[in-house]
């Protein structure tokens, strides 16, 4: 026990206790202090010799002539030019459209502006290329970067993309290498020459088109004599569109019914009109996004945005999540439908070859069912 106390006290137990008892600060002893005290008598004996040496040194110093002082050197002053302050260039602030696109891609995946899947993209492209047996271009309306890149992976044709959301143009140019992107109204697409395209692919064009007859007529004129229009669109089965299901939409939705779309296609001159429901594919993709919501929020926190930009980013992310939750309810309840349409200018035989049970994996279809039970 005493050895432990000595170790804690540094070996000088008495000194520390004495300092504590007298109320003063503890000062550790100087090493070699005892040896110095023992040498003091010898130092006293040598004192007369030391005094004689000092007297001889002083006499020799006074015999030397005084040293001539050297002239002082004057150095020219050095002028230092002031260094101008060069602040680091500030990062260009993001506008509202860029922040929104970043929020959508955070939730649905890079290059996606809504729930989508590789299976649905592939099926649209297969239908688009089925009759396109000659080289040339393919038209797109409202396609996101994921769909355009999936097309580029399967075909050497050049995609001509008409984009009605101006904020998406720069993002498409960043992510899609060989696409020719043109800005135009959704119901008045630009960049399509009459009778030049074997196929046009569109996404939600009817849903946001104000002049639907004009959209159909413009697409019909741009197609070749044996051309095909492939599109995915949301339609309503009620008198009104559920507003909460499109709270985060890019524009005011103008949903039509399936019968209204089919009538417009027939009046324009399309000979064969077929459709198949792809609502299960969209629901599976949306549920998968919600299943990853916790990870999405973590990545959102580390997105590098702060201040006003960070607040807008989180606001867009929350709006999109809430809006699509309402849209999923409407799809599951039958108020809304999502269909894949194929409209041909010539007569075609047989139904669409859409086998959804082969495209939806069980894990994907039930990934987030517990969130909605």
Strand 336-344 relative to strand 137-141, pairing: unpaired
Q: Which residue has the higher pLDDT, 128 or 90?
A: 128
- Domain-embedded: residue 171: yes
Does the pLDDT at position 340 exceed 60?
yes
3-state secondary structure of 119: helix
Residue 229's closest CA among 139, 143, 165, 146? 139
DSSP state letter for 372: G
- Domain-embedded: residue 163: yes
Which secondary-structure segment (H or E) carries 297?
helix 293-301
- Domain-embedded: residue 335: yes
* Tens-place pLDDT, residues 276-319: 999 999 999 999 988 887 777 776 666 666 778 888 888 898 89
- Domain-embedded: residue 38: no
What whole-number distance in Å separates Cα of residue 107 and Cα of residue 97?
Answer: 16
What whole-number distance in Å separates Cα of residue 134 and Cα of residue 198?
Answer: 9
Does the pLDDT at position 212 exceed 90?
yes
3-state secondary structure of 159: strand
Write the CATH number for 346.
3.40.50.150
- Domain-embedded: residue 346: yes
What whole-number distance in Å separates Cα of residue 267 and Cα of residue 212?
Answer: 12
Which secondary-structure segment (H or E) carries 280?
helix 279-291
Q: Where are the beta strands (DSSP E) in the chain?
A: 137-141, 158-163, 180-183, 197-203, 223-236, 272-277, 336-344
Does the pLDDT at position 48 exceed 70?
no
- The end-to-end CA distance of the chain, in Å, is 67
* Tens-place pLDDT, residues 239-248: 989 889 998 8
Rounded to the nearest integer, the mean pLDDT of the chain is 78
- 88, burial (CB in 10 Å: exposed 0-12, middle 13-18, buried 19+): exposed
Q: How many domains would you assign to the chain?
A: 1
Q: Which domain holds residue 199?
A: 96-372
- Domain-embedded: residue 44: no
pLDDT at residue number 78: 43
Residue 31's closest CA among 11, 3, 6? 11
Rounded to 5 degrees, what are φ and ψ at 131?
-105, -5
Q: Is 222:202 a contact under the CB 8 Å cutoff?
A: no
Residue 203's closest CA among 165, 154, 248, 245? 165
Q: Where are the beta strands (DSSP E) in 43-102?
A: none
Q: Which residue has the higher pLDDT, 301 or 272?
A: 272
- Domain-embedded: residue 176: yes
- Domain-embedded: residue 59: no
């Amino acid at each position: 026990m005493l050895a432990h106390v000595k170790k804690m006290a540094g070996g000088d137990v008495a000194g520390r206790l004495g300092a504590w008892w007298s109320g003063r600060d503890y000062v550790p002893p100087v090493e070699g202090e005892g040896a110095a005290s023992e040498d003091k008598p010898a130092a006293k004996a040598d004192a007369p010799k030391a005094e004689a040496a000092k007297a001889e040194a002083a006499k020799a110093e006074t015999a030397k002539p005084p040293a001539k002082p050297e002239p002082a050197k004057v150095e020219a002053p050095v002028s230092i030019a002031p260094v101008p302050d060069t602040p680091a260039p500030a990062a260009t602030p993001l506008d509202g459209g860029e922040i929104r696109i970043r929020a959508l891609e955070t939730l649905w995946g890079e290059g996606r502006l809504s729930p989508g899947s590789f299976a649905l993209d592939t099926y649209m492209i297969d239908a688009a290329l089925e009759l396109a047996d000659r080289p040339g271009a393919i038209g797109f309306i409202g396609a996101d970067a994921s769909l355009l890149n999936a097309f580029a992976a399967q075909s050497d044709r050049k995609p001509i993309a008409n984009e009605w959301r101006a904020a998406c143009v720069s993002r498409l140019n960043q992510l899609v290498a060989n696409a020719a992107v043109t800005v135009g109204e959704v119901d008045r697409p630009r960049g399509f020459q009459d009778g030049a395209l074997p196929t046009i692919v569109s996404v939600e064009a009817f849903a946001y088109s104000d002049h639907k007859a004009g959209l159909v007529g413009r697409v019909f004129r741009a197609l070749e004599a044996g051309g095909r229009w492939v599109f995915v669109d949301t339609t309503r089965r009620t008198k009104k569109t559920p507003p909460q299901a499109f709270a985060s939409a890019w524009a005011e939705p103008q949903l039509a019914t399936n019968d209204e779309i089919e009538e417009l296609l027939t009046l324009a001159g399309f000979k064969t009109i077929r459709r198949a429901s792809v609502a299960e594919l969209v629901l599976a993709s949306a549920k998968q996004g919600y299943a990853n919501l916790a990870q999405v929020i973590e990545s959102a926190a580390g997105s590098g945005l702060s201040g006003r930009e960070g607040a807008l980013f989180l606001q867009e992310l929350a709006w999109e999540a809430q809006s699509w939750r309402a849209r999923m309810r409407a799809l599951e309840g039958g108020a809304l439908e999502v269909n894949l349409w194929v409209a041909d200018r010539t007569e075609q035989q047989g139904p669409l070859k859409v086998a959804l049970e082969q495209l939806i994996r069980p894990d994907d279809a039930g990934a987030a069912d517990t969130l909605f039970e």
